[in-house]
Amino acid sequence: MGHSMGIGIQYYEKQRIFKLDTPHTSYIMAVVDDENFLGHVYYGGRLEDYDVSYLLRTQEKPSAPSGNNRERCSFMDAFPMEYPGHGLGDYRDGCISVRSKGGHSAVNLTVTSHKIYDGKKKLEGLPATFGTEKECSTLEIECEDATLGLKATLMYTAFHDVDAITRSIKVTNMSGEEIYLTKALSACLDMDNKEFEHISLHGSWARERHIQRQPVGYGKYAVSSLRGEPGHQEHPFLALATKGAGQDAGEVYAMNFVYSGNFFTQVEMSQYDSVRMSMGIQPEDFCWKLEPQESFQAPEAVLVYSAEGLGGMTRSFHDLYRKHLLRSPYKDKKRPILLNNWEATYFDFDTDKLIGIARQASKLGIEMLVMDDGWFGKRNSDNCGLGDWQVNEEKLKGGLKYLVDEVNKLGMKFGIWFEPEMVSPDSDLYRAHPDWAIQIPGRTAAMAREQYVLDISRKEVRDYVYECVAKVLRSANVEYVKWDMNRPLSDLGSSGLAADRQGELYHRYVLGLYEMQERLITDFPDLLLENCSGGGARFDPGMLYYSPQIWCSDDTDAIERLAIQEGTALVYPLSTMGAHVSDCPNHAIGRTTPFETRGYVALAGTFGYELDVTKIPQEEQKMIPEQIAMYHKYNDLVREGDYYRLASYQENKVYDCYEVVSKDRKEALVTYVQVLNSSNRRSRHICLKGLKADAVYRVEGMEGSYLGDTLMKAGIPMENFWGDFRGKLVHITAL
Ligand code: DGJ
């Protein structure tokens, strides 16, 4: 089995070795000892040799149990276990634990059989990467804990065209009694520490996904969420990079979770200087009851190894997600340039105001009007009305269809905002169905933004809300939906679940969300869906399976966005980052930046506007057609190209610079923004990346033409700008 180039998956029976190969990486596991432990042998740069099981150190003390069961605990505590169990001598944190009928928590999984096939199966009810039989191969390793009667299928897919491996696990209760699953992580890597540094993405509302890097030390360091969504604060991404690894060199091991709920990542360094890197559903508050024969499918984790530093890792994630995760008909297309009325009007709008904005926007070349929060029920502020998805005809005189038709007559598309998962206490829906909100009997549930979370783990709640959304979409020519979610979960209690299943609520909520979004894009296949969560609290690969773009942050300030978009683009393609030009002083932080710079920064994402075009100064209005022309000129390149980070304002404190290079390396676009304005500086030279060394290029604004080699080694000049927060785009084309 495998690819003709040697890419794919092989099992070497004599040595009991599994080898997974992507174009530049290998992943090796071995079945060892009479007990069939599954050891993690190697993950890294591509190896031709497959039998490198000396890396498992089974000849060293503490040796395998069949040779020395007297020191079984020592073996368990040192062995690099592929999917470590719990409670049987390995004192590092494992991947799986249970509560059996007898009240015990221990698990030990050993191999019973395996199968290898081309392609990749869907994960039932869950988002996941996909690929054809030519594009990937899959390995399923069956393991069991015979004492418990528990079966676990470890699933691995190796992609043939991207250096990425995905993992997940399915657990089945083969016993005659119920088993409660209290932990079921999706991926784990045990390996020697190589002076690793831990890289993760952290933030807050309007300050999402800032990169944090720190050395790995002894003990455990976890990054996780208990908010029912990843949250603004933490992110389901984790990388271990060798000390000092930069954009171009150094090794990086990265994991990203295809999941939109509570997640858990951890790095643990042991007494033997090995590290255990793990990722999965947050075990806290997770308890899943498995009746006999029932299964639990854990979500997918994506693993990327790069020997070309963080840049190599980023490009693998981008390629994987563009080819093997995004499904929308828009994924490979320019997105309509939208104008969203949130920062333009907030709740203060009506049909006339929106048509006035649309009329002016259409003249400037804007292609879609998106009507944000406040068009339904009695929602004139954020303290009421969620759940009452009937058009407010006092605001929208003539109804939704009239408004949409008028906007369409201007040659523009129309989009609309929903927050389907929420309910306001002051709403007809809540008055009719108070038990539909997530809450614990006997406690007054905590509000956030004066709203509650609907219990979409319940089918009747999902069906009701979905039908409300669908009815609105059927009533007019709505071509875009922004699906928002403005508070995290709390007070976990569901009136639809028995006492011994309340620990399933967090995950069932996410499954309910996925089911609703799948229904939406199936029933409305041409719809452009943009996810959002109070800005970017649910920007994860799970949501990208349903929507090709996600609103990155409620902070639209061009300078703040540099850090947010740098962190986001570390993992996610530029085409997925919702980014708009907004008015100044910026509504989130009060800063004023040049209109041009706001345009450059938004051009790195989906591009759109979030302002009242009838109110901004004439000179800014005049710049909109120029920005739109730039979008049309560069968006194919930005959406499809290879991303290179050239400089980070977070590190140098002076300027930010990134580049996108077309796959054929005939074209590149550099975005430069100078953040620090200080006097008496000369120009600086920015070395480009990703060009063909022997191709000749012309650089916009420079006389003559130069070899790619020169531009990459010697760089292009970038002036020291006069004035605050100025920048520019530089287009490079091969002759
Ligand atoms: C949060 C979103 O991020 C904003 O863009 C806007 O849609 C508001 N919610 C509306 O309440």
Pick from 606, 520, 525: which is nearest to 565 by CA?
Answer: 606
Is the CB–ligand 1 distance for residue 567 below 6 Å? no
φ/ψ of 5, rounded to 5, equals: -80, 5
Contact 508, 285 (CB under 8 A): no
Residues with Cβ within 8 Å of residue 45, at least 6 apart in sequence: 24, 25, 26, 305, 307
Distance 534 CA to ligand 1 centre (A): 5
Nearest ligand 1 atom, CA 417: 7
In angstroms and rounded to an integer, the radius of gyration of the C-alpha atoms of the chain is 27
Q: Which atom of ligand 1 is nearest to the CA of 535?
A: 3
Tell me the CA–centroid distance for residue 279 and ligand 1, in Å: 30
Cα 263 to averaged position of ligand 1 atoms, centre (Å): 24
- pLDDT at residue number 64: 84
Q: Beta strand pairing status for 252-258 and 210-215?
A: unpaired
Neighbours of 367 (CB within 10 A): 18
pLDDT tens-digit readout, 289-318: 999 999 999 999 999 999 999 999 999 999
At 664 the pLDDT is 98
Please spell the DSSP secondary structure of 454-505, one letter per residue: B-TTSHHHHHHHHHHHHHHHHHTT--EEEE---S---S---TTS-GGGGGGH
Integer angstrom CA distances of residue 55 from 50, 109, 201: 11, 21, 32
pLDDT in tens, 205-220: 999 999 999 999 999 9
E-assigned strands of 397-477?
413-418, 422-423, 452-453
DSSP summary character for residue 504:
G
Residues of the chain above pLDDT 90, percent: 97
Q: Which two tokens stand for residue 260?
A: 């939109």
Q: Whose Cα sits closest to atom 10 in ligand 1?
A: 373
CB of 484 within 6 A of ligand 1: the answer is yes
Q: Between β-strands 338-340 and 368-371, what pairing exists: parallel, antiparallel or unpaired?
A: parallel
Instruction: For CA atoms 497, 500, 503, 508, give the dihedral sign.
Output: negative
Q: Are 451 and 486 in contact (CB under 8 A)?
A: yes
Calculate how far, in angstroms, residue 582's C-alpha sits from the geometric centre of ligand 1: 14
Q: Is 532 in the pocket of ligand 1 (CB under 6 A)?
A: yes
- Does the pLDDT of residue 3 top 60, yes or no? no
pLDDT in tens, 399-438: 999 999 999 999 999 999 999 999 999 999 999 999 999 9
Question: Is-contact 130 164, C-beta < 8 A?
Answer: no
Cβ of 373 below 6 Å from ligand 1? yes
**β-strand pairing of 179-192 with 288-290:** antiparallel
Q: Which amino acid is at 14?
A: K
What phi and psi values does residue 17 have, to the nearest 5 degrees?
A: -120, 135
Average pLDDT over residues 534-555: 98
Rounded Cα distance between 374 and 135, Å, is 45
| Closest residue CA from atom 11 of ligand 1 | 373
**Structure token digits, residue 469:** 């959304």
| Binding site membership of 82 for ligand 1 (Cβ less than 6 Å) | no
pLDDT at site 2: 37
Residue 534 Cβ contacting ligand 1 at under 6 Å: yes
pLDDT band, residue 66 (cuts 50/70/90): confident
pLDDT recorded at residue 82? 98
Residue identified by tokens 């996600």 is 550
Q: Residue 271 carries which side chain, given as an amino acid letter?
A: Q
Per-residue model confidence (pLDDT) at position 331: 97
List pLDDT tens digits, range 102-156: 999 999 999 999 999 999 999 999 999 999 999 999 999 999 999 999 999 999 9
Catalytic residues: 484, 554
Q: Is 343 in the pocket of ligand 1 (CB under 6 A)?
A: no
Using alpha carbons, select from 664, 597, 656, 601 the residue that is nearest to residue 637: 664
Number of Cβ within 10 Å of residue 375's Cβ equals 26
Of 372, 375, 381, 539, which is best to mutate to test ligand 1, by the most ligand atoms within 8 angstroms of its C-beta?
372
Report whether residue 417 contacts ligand 1, using a CB cutoff of 6 Å. yes
Q: Which residue type is seen at 708? A: G
Amino acid at 650: Q
Cα angle value 23/25/26 (rounded, 5°): 115
Query: What mean pLDDT comes out for the span 504-533?
Result: 98
pLDDT at 1: 39
Q: In the prediction, which pLDDT does 147 show?
A: 98
Whether ligand 1 lies within 6 angstroms of the CB of 551 is answered as yes
For residue 484, the CA-to-ligand 1 centroid distance in Å is 7
Per-residue pLDDT, averaged over 460-486, amounts to: 98
Distance 597 CA to ligand 1 centre (A): 23
pLDDT, tens digit, for every residue of 598-650?
Answer: 999 999 999 999 999 999 999 999 999 999 999 999 999 999 999 999 999 99
C-alpha 9/C-alpha 157 separation (Å) is 9
Q: Give the chain's mean pLDDT.
A: 97
Q: Which residue has the tokens 């708009």?
A: 580
Decide: 486 in ligand 1 pocket, CB within 6 A: yes
CA of 7 to the centre of ligand 1 (A): 45
Probe residue for ligand 1, chosen from 345, 484, 580 as the CB with the greatest number of ligand atoms within 8 Å: 484
On the question of pLDDT at 559 being above 60, the answer is yes
H helices of 664-724, in order, are 708-713
Residue ranges of alpha helices (H) inside 476-590 are 505-523, 541-544, 558-569
372 lines ligand 1 (CB under 6 A): yes
Distance 374 CA to ligand 1 centre (A): 10
Q: State which H helix or E strand residue 549 sits in.
A: strand 549-551
Q: Whose CA is nearest to atom 2 of ligand 1?
A: 534
Task: Kindly state the helix (H) or strand (E) to which residue 534 belongs, with its residue range.
Answer: none
Whether the per-residue pLDDT at 363 is higher than 90: the answer is yes
According to DSSP, residue 56 is labeled G
Q: What whole-number distance in Å separates Cα of residue 331 and Cα of residue 530?
A: 12
- Mean pLDDT, residues 514-530: 98
| 75/58 Cα distance (integer angstroms) | 9
126 CA distance to ligand 1 middle (Å): 26
When pLDDT is cut at 50, 70 and 90, the band that residue 4 belongs to is very low
Q: How far apart are CA 319 and CA 298, in angstroms?
A: 24
- Atom index in ligand 1 nearest the CA of residue 533 equals 3
Q: Which atom of ligand 1 is nearest to the CA of 342?
A: 6
Give yes or no for residue 535 CB within 6 A of ligand 1.
yes
The residue whose CA has the least distance to atom 6 of ligand 1 is 342
Residue nearest to atom 9 of ligand 1 (CA): 534
- The residues, ordered by sequence, that sit 6+ positions from 324 with a Cβ below 8 Å of its Cβ are 129, 130, 131, 135, 136, 159, 162
Q: How far apart, in whole angstroms, are the C-alpha atoms of residue 10 and residue 7?
A: 9
- Output DSSP code: residue 206: T
Q: Which residue has the tokens 């639809």?
A: 496
Could you tell me if 725 and 347 are in contact, meaning their C-beta atoms sit under 8 angstroms apart?
no
C-alpha torsion 178→182→185→186, nearest 10: 30
Write the residue with the smallest CA distance to atom 1 of ligand 1. 534
Q: What is the mean pLDDT of residues 591-596?
A: 98
The alpha carbon of 34 and the centre of ligand 1 are apart by a number of angstroms equal to 58
Distance 611 CA to ligand 1 centre (A): 14
| DSSP summary character for residue 86 | B
Map residue 659 onto helix, strand or coil.
Answer: strand
pLDDT at res. 522: 98
Q: Is the dihedral of CA 130, 133, 136, 137 positive or negative?
A: positive
CA of 84 to the centre of ligand 1 (A): 42
C-alpha 536/C-alpha 555 separation (Å) is 10
At 449 the three-state DSSP class reads: coil
Ligand 1 mutation pick, 341, 347, 370, 373, max ligand atoms within 8 A of CB = 373
Which of 380, 532, 553, 611 has most ligand 1 atoms within 8 Å of CB, for mutation? 532
Q: What are phi and psi of 32, to 5 degrees?
A: -130, 160
Q: Which two tokens stand for residue 687?
A: 């070395």
At 178, the pLDDT band (50, 70, 90 cuts) reads very high
Under 8 Å between Cβ of 316 and 121: no
Report the candidate in 435, 437, 432, 444 with the shortest Cα–Cα distance to residue 422: 437
Give the C-alpha separation, 690 to 665, whole Å. 7
Is the pLDDT reported for residue 51 higher than 50?
Answer: yes
Instruction: Please state the atom number of ligand 1 nearest to the C-alpha of residue 372.
Output: 7
pLDDT of residue 399: 98
Whether residue 592 contacts residue 585, with contact meaning beta carbons closer than 8 Å, is answered with: yes
Of the residues 207, 339, 341, 342, which should be mutated to test ligand 1's pocket, given the most ligand atoms within 8 Å of the CB? 342
Amino acid in position 517: Q
